[in-house]
């Protein structure tokens, strides 16, 4: 529980100005995101008894420096035609609809500008899908970073007036622990504050989910720590079709499959995150499961195959 890694938290925080610079320099269209009305970007597919919709909240122009590692990282990025100035990572959330449920998995960055302006497109995506915020009955939170929970509040008030929040019990405990927060570096304080603000806004509508328990019928939360201490993936059982929402198990479908042990700037414990990454990748490749990822090329549906001692990402074409 107390695996707060001061070094990596500081590294992540120290890189934030670089992100801002990249956002302003390489993405001029995003630079005037203030006041702009970002459009909807969504992709819908059947998933057994559910319909699943990927909703793009925005693009995070991550810097190369977020990925720890040397020439091997540069080689993978060059082969993928990416960088070296920026490694664009979408921020996606996923809507699940069944006959009687409307469930959102994560909620995007919303008004938060941790990674620069230009986020909050989730709202338009939901509207384009014909879903009003009041229609959402459950929001499942994979972890409490701003790009996953920022969209839960607007001007401090809950966006989803009728929704219950499901969050892993380890994750909820970590970000609300006053002792851990007191020991965390100054750069991490806004993340703690946002998590606490969001959880307080939803008051008594929060369900803390144990490892391996269901957040909603057919949605099993599985603890996958390292990116954050309580980071969870969500196994979705649509009856004849299964999908693993792997959240932040990877931050580049190219880098983190070819080089699964490469640490990432916002990991609370990069070694633990790498072990979780291999465990989840082994699981989904052995079970030939579809995956969806928060930061996989939009819409973010695919498969992960083993390749030697590493892996390969194959975008889904089944839709």
Contact residues for Zn ion, defined by CB under 5 A: 147, 248, 294
Closest approach of Zn ion to the CB of residue 25, in Å: 22
Least spacing, CB of residue 43 vs Zn ion, in Å: 19
At 142, give phi and psi (nearest 5°): -75, -35
Query: CB-wise, 248 or 267, nearer to Zn ion?
Result: 248
Type and span of the H or E element at 257: helix 255-258
CB nearer Zn ion, residue 90 or residue 238:
90
Tracing tokens 């009728």 back to the chain, one arrives at 162
Both tokens of residue 156?
């401090």
Least distance to Zn ion, CB of residue 130, Å: 26
Q: Give the nearest distance from C-beta 295 to Zn ion in angstroms.
A: 6
Closest CB 229 distance from Zn ion, rounded Å = 15
Separation between Cα atoms, residue 55 and residue 299, nearest integer Å: 8
The answer to whether residues 68 and 12 touch, using CB atoms and an 8 Å cutoff, is: no
Token representation of residue 237? 């059982």
> Which residues does 210 contact at the CB level (< 8 Å), separation at least 6?
169
φ, ψ at 146 (rounded to 5°): -55, -35
Q: Which is nearer to Zn ion, 60 or 77 (CB)?
A: 60
Identify which of residues 57 and 248 has a Cβ nearer to Zn ion in the complex.
248
- State the DSSP H helix or E strand holding residue 19, giving kind and residue range, or none if neither: helix 16-26
Q: Residue 97 or 232: which CB sits closer to Zn ion?
A: 232
């Amino acid at each position: 529980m107390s695996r707060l890694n001061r070094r990596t938290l500081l590294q992540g925080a120290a890189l934030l100005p670089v992100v801002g610079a990249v956002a302003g320099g390489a993405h001029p269209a995003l630079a005037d995101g203030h006041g702009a009305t970002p459009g909807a970007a969504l992709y819908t597919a059947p998933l057994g008894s559910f319909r699943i919709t990927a909703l793009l909240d925005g693009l995070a122009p991550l810097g190369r420096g977020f990925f720890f590692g040397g020439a091997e990282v540069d080689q993978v990025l060059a082969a993928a035609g990416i960088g070296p100035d920026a490694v664009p990572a979408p921020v996606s959330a996923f809507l699940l609809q069944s006959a009687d449920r409307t469930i959102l998995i994560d909620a995007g960055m919303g008004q938060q500008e941790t990674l620069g302006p230009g986020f909050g497109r989730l709202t338009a995506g939901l509207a384009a899908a014909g879903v009003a915020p009041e229609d959402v009955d459950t929001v499942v939170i994979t972890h409490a970073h701003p790009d996953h929970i920022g969209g839960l509040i607007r001007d401090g008030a809950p966006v989803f007036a009728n929704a219950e929040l499901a969050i892993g019990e380890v994750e909820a405990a970590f970000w609300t622990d006053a002792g851990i927060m007191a020991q965390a570096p100054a750069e991490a304080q806004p993340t703690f504050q946002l998590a606490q603000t969001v959880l307080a806004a939803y008051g008594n509508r929060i369900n803390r989910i144990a490892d391996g328990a269901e957040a909603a019928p057919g949605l099993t939360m599985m603890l996958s720590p390292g990116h954050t201490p309580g980071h969870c993936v969500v196994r979705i059982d649509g009856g004849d079709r299964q999908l693993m929402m792997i959240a932040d198990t990877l931050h580049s479908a190219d880098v983190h499959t070819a080089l699964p042990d490469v640490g990432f700037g916002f990991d609370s414990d990069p070694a633990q995150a790498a072990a979780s990454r291999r465990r989840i990748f082994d699981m989904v490749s052995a079970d030939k499961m579809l995956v969806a990822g928060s930061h996989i090329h939009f819409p973010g549906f695919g498969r992960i195959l083993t390749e030697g001692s590493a892996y390969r990402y194959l975008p889904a074409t089944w839709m």
